[in-house]
Amino acid sequence: MLEANNIAVLRGDRVIFAGLRLSVSPGEAVVLIGANGAGKSTLLRCLAGLVRLEEGSILWQGEEALADRAAHAARLRYLAHADALKPGLSAAENLRFWARCWGGDPGAALEAVGLAPLAELPARMLSAGQRRRLALARLALSPCPLWLLDEPSVGLDAASLERLGTLLRRHRAGGGMVVAATHVPLPLDRAREFRMAVAA
């Protein structure tokens, strides 16, 4: 189980959120909703260990998750707004880089997001939607317990949304957890909503 225990984050002198509590169990999906500036992306970055907490803690199985940041990083995949692709590398080369870190089959991952025919095309030549699909292909490389997704459906067409839904279902069926920030509906069955408000 992943838990955010009474966490608070400041940006300068501004409180982004305080006293926030959230838990996610194996197989569960939590969708973060709220207006721009409510702290959805910040919360995802907190859960990934990328933002300093002013108060509270992030727990994994009841233990302090960030005591060993390398171990915490290994148990999650974080997909941000940016696709984090090397434009000069082909789609397959981009995935081979991550496969060296995590393991997995780049060819199968490309197939999972419908990009196998474009495997040798440089990332800079892909459309915005294709680049997003290539970023999502990192999720298909190898299993890990926790996916943290920031607006994962941006730029995706209907067929690509179906592929994303398949990835999400398989991940959760294996006991994986999902926390996703979004402004639009996602293909996540039985997801629990967690509403965030802009701090006063």
Please list the ranges in the chain whose pLDDT falls under 50. Answer: none
pLDDT computed for residue 30 by the predictor: 98
pLDDT computed for residue 11 by the predictor: 87
pLDDT computed for residue 37 by the predictor: 86
Cβ atoms within 10 Å, residue 69: 12
Q: Where are the beta strands (DSSP E) in the chain?
A: 2-11, 14-24, 29-33, 55-60, 63-64, 76-79, 146-150, 177-181, 192-195
pLDDT computed for residue 200 by the predictor: 62
pLDDT computed for residue 78 by the predictor: 96
pLDDT computed for residue 102 by the predictor: 92
Give the angle subtended at the CA of 52 by the CAs of 49 and 55, to the nearest 5°: 110
Only one residue has tokens 């803690």, namely 57
Q: What is the dihedral of CA 99, 110, 1, 173, to 10 degrees?
A: -130
Cα separation, 7 vs 55, in Å, equals 5
pLDDT computed for residue 13 by the predictor: 85
pLDDT computed for residue 183 by the predictor: 86
pLDDT computed for residue 12 by the predictor: 84
pTM score above 0.75: yes
- Amino acid at the residue 96: R
Only one residue has tokens 């990192």, namely 138
